[in-house]
Structures are given as structure tokens and as C-alpha cells.
């Protein structure tokens, strides 16, 4: 989808004509309003389309464009420091090789975490959680994701220690796909916000099974009924479509089942799982709903204005944070 105004023109509109409406192709015309009045836009690994993910360069880009929150991933070094990197191995985003936990902080700081993204980021380092929290204080909220509690036993305690030292209890939330992380945090520090991430895997599996089953049922029905080739094709497609719709409903319910009963303050489903009914039920239980990972203006608009989510995690915060919401 193309936006008729260029990025530079948008900036001019923002500063000169704050009430003017913006035309977006293949969507309705929307009145512009401050993003901060809609939802919390959370920069996924920073502005990860403009700078190497999970680096200070990426976090600073997100802040420069107006982000009010950043998301990052934590791992622990061989000598006990918490560092920011997505994978548990170094190979994809640095010039190093092997598992993060097999190296000391000093060894990790000697690696280049930027050249893979572009030559202008050569020499970018893997940051520590302490460095990021110190920089973020007074600037942005921080979504600290823990990949797996059992991978680094006691990591929740290490995180809480840093959060307390930096006096950031009101400005962080700790998230994970592992529900034991929320449970552990709440046992140690009930005042810290936690979030449970919901995987779309069950939805995808349901869609595959349901759609395939529908196609087979449609084809079988046409053959039994002695339908001609054209009618058989239509019945097969209709069966597949029906199977898709039914399995989508079932997959969403299975994926989200029980999530509102968990200890977490925030539920973070994949965006395709979220509907306004779920958000309403979450709010009734005093829980917030953040979606991941939405990158198009059309999708962000739908999530914020139709489903009513409280936050949106995105790889492209720069699209939505120039002061106005599409």
C-alpha cells in the first residue's frame, strides 16, 4: 500500500497543518490524531528496520522518532551479566559464533553487532541491560522479554535487581511466552507489570487442518453427488472457505483459552488472534492487551480503533510516531 504523501511531506504537514486529513490509498480517509492518545507503540527490538536490532543505535532511532516504549530480549553471559540480543546464539547478528551464555561480557563486547545490517553501523556493540535501562530512564518505557526462564535460572531476580537499582519500577514491564516468568516476578515483586505472550502456532495448525478438511469434504461431496468439473471445483473451494472460517474461530479460542486467568497484567497475542470481544473481556479483568507484530498503517489503525488494544508492538515505529496516527 502506498501513501500519497512522502515521508518528508508528512513531516511538513505535521508541523504546518496539524488538523488536515490524510488520504491513504485503499483505506478510508482518517482524521489524524496524536498517537499517544490512541495506544502505546512499542518499538520491536528498537527501530529494527532503520538500525541493527537490539542495539543502542536501534533504540535511539526509535526514541528519535517519538517511541514511548522499546522492546528488547535478554540473555545472560558466562560471568553473569544480562545482555541484549534476540537469539541465544551470536551467529545471525554479530561476527561471533556460538552460544551467548558461553562467553564473558568482555568477550561479547569485542564483537561487531552492526556490520551485518550495514557498513555505517560497523563497530556497534551488544549492549547490556544495565546500559539500556540507564539510557532509557526518563525517555521511554522498556519491555524486557525473557525467552525462557529455565535457560537462565534466576534471571528474573537479576532483572528485578537492575530495575530497582535504576529506580524504574513504573517504567518497565517484563514479558515472556513462558508463563512461569510472570509467576516468578509476581512472587518477588507484585508491583512490577508482567506480560504473557501468546503464540499463533495453534491458530496456524487449526487453519491448516480446517482448510484442508474443508477442501476434502467439498471435493468428496461433489464426487458423491456426481457434479460436473466446474461445479466440483466450486464445491471444493466453498468447502475450503468454510473450513478456514470455522477453524479460524476454533484456533483463536484455543490459543487464547485461559490467558485471562494468568497472573500477567498484560496479554500479548499475535495480532491475528485479537478481536474486540477478547479486548473487552481483558479490560473487565483489569488486564491490558498489546498485539504483535503490526507494521502496516491499515493494520495498526484496525487494531487501535476497532479492536481497542492498549499497545502495539511494531518493527516500524517510525511509520506511526511522527506525531500522528493513520
Residues annotated as catalytic are 44, 86
Residues 297 and 24: beta-carbon distance below 8 Å:
yes
| Distance (Å, whole) CA 156 – CA 136 | 19
Residue 209, classified by CB atoms within 10 Å of its CB into exposed (0-12), middle (13-18) or buried (19+), is: middle
Amino acid at each position: 500500500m502506498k501513501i500519497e504523501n512522502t515521508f518528508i511531506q508528512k513531516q511538513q504537514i505535521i508541523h504546518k497543518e496539524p488538523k488536515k486529513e490524510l488520504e491513504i490509498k485503499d483505506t478510508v480517509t482518517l482524521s489524524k490524531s496524536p498517537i499517544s492518545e490512541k495506544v502505546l507503540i512499542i518499538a520491536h527490538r528498537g527501530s529494527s528496520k532503520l538500525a541493527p536490532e537490539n542495539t543502542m543505535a536501534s533504540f535511539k532511532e526509535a526514541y528519535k522518532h517519538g517511541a514511548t516504549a522499546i522492546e528488547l530480549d535478554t540473555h545472560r553471559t558466562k560471568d553473569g551479566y544480562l545482555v541484549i540480543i534476540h537469539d541465544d546464539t551470536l551467529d545471525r547478528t554479530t561476527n561471533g559464533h556460538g552460544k551467548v551464555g558461553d562467553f564473558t561480557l568482555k568477550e561479547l563486547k569485542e564483537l561487531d553487532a552492526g556490520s551485518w545490517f550495514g557498513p555505517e553501523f560497523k563497530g556497534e556493540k551488544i549492549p547490556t541491560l544495565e546500559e539500556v535501562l540507564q539510557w532509557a530512564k526518563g525517555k521511554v518505557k522498556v519491555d524486557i522479554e525473557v525467552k525462557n526462564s529455565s535457560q537462565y535460572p534466576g534471571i528474573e531476580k537479576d532483572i528485578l535487581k537492575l530495575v530497582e537499582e535504576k529506580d524504574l519500577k513504573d517504567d518497565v514491564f517484563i514479558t515472556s511466552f513462558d508463563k512461569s516468568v510472570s509467576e516468578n516476578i509476581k512472587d518477588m515483586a507484585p508491583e512490577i507489570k508482567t506480560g504473557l505472550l501468546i503464540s499463533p502456532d495453534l491458530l496456524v495448525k487449526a487453519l491448516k487442518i480446517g482448510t484442508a478438511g474443508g477442501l476434502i469434504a467439498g471435493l468428496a461431496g461433489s464426487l458423491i453427488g456426481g457434479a460436473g468439473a466446474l461445479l466440483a471445483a466450486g464445491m471444493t473451494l466453498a468447502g475450503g472457505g468454510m473450513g478456514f472460517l470455522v477453524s479460524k474461530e476454533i484456533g483463536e479460542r484455543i490459543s487464547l483459552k485461559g490467558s485471562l486467568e494468568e497472573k500477567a497484567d498484560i496479554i500479548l497475542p499475535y495480532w491475528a488472534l485479537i478481536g474486540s470481544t477478547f479486548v473487552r473481556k481483558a479490560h473487565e479483568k483489569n488486564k491490558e492487551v498489546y498485539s504483535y507484530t503490526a507494521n502496516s498503517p491499515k493494520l495498526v489503525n484496525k487494531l487501535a480503533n476497532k479492536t481497542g488494544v492498549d499497545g502495539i508492538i511494531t518493527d516500524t515505529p517510525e511509520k506511526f510516531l511522527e506525531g500522528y496516527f493513520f
